Amino acid sequence: MMSSWVSSALAGSILLAVIALPSYASEEGDSVLAPAGADLFGQYCASCHGVSGEGNGPAASALNVPPADLTRIAARRGGDFPDSEIARFIDGRFDLPAHGSREMPIWGRRLGASIAKGTEPDEVARGRILSLVEYLKTIQRK
Ligand code: HEC
């Protein structure tokens, strides 16, 4: 999964290298990053995906494509949670959706505000996306 991702058109970019699976990532969700991701999820994602991540948020009915059930990311992929693919999808700056316009906001841009003097918006976005991915691992159902 990761190798096909890394060998894609943007291979070599620092951006991709940093979003890619960190060495400390675990199957259950990193215990430091996941809680930060939970806060971000409530703030940015629950409106569509629902507080529990099942895809039933208040804004869901206004969309053409239903928000995915994020508790079944792994279940939809035979039990495998593909960190890199999910980080890349959330970011959204790299892929054009196969089926026309994407309903998900391009989080790589939205989450990239500079949070303090000296922080790079892009680093902030990557850190936040990583936290979100770690959080999503903690809500996976069998
Ligand atoms: C405006 C509504 C909306 C918001 C807000 C939103 N999403 Fe989504 N999301 C969607 C829709 C719709 C899909 C289905 C795929 C598509 O875009 O066509 C989706 C799909 C996904 C998927 C793909 C799941 C899979 O199995 O491939 C992930 C992961 C995801 N969202 C994560 C997030 C995260 C994390 C946030 C918050 C940062 C978020 N979403 C906020 C609408 C939204």
Tens digits of per-residue pLDDT, 17-29? 445 555 455 678 9
pLDDT of 100 reads: 62
Structure tokens at 134: 């770690």
pTM of the model: 0.83
Cα 82 to the center of its chain, rounded Å: 11
What number is the average pLDDT over the span 85-105?
82
What number is the average pLDDT over the span 44-71?
96
What number is the average pLDDT over the span 90-95?
87
CB 134 within 8 A of CB 25: yes
Which residue's C-alpha comes closest to atom 28 of ligand 1?
90
For ligand 1, which residues put their CB under 6 angstroms from it? 44-45, 47-49, 59, 63, 65, 67-68, 70, 73, 76, 86, 89-90, 102-105, 107, 132
pLDDT of 12 reads: 41
Rounded to the nearest angstrom, the distance between the alpha carbon of 117 and the centre of ligand 1 is: 30
Task: Give the residue carrying structure tokens 């994407």.
Answer: 102
CA dihedral 5, 11, 14, 20 (to 10 degrees): 10
For residue 5, is pLDDT > 90? no
Mean pLDDT of the chain: 83
pLDDT 10s digits, 107-141: 998 998 777 788 888 999 999 999 999 999 999 99
**Model confidence at 8, in pLDDT bands (50, 70, 90)?**
very low
Ordered structural domains, the chain, with CATH: 2-138 (1.10.760.10)
The DSSP 8-state label assigned to residue 45 in this structure reads I
The DSSP 8-state label assigned to residue 22 in this structure reads -
Rounded to the nearest angstrom, the distance between the alpha carbon of 53 and the centre of ligand 1 is: 10
Rounded to the nearest angstrom, the distance between the alpha carbon of 9 and the centre of ligand 1 is: 23
pLDDT of 116 reads: 79
Which residue's C-alpha comes closest to atom 34 of ligand 1?
45
Alpha helix (H) ranges present in 78-120?
A: 83-91, 107-110
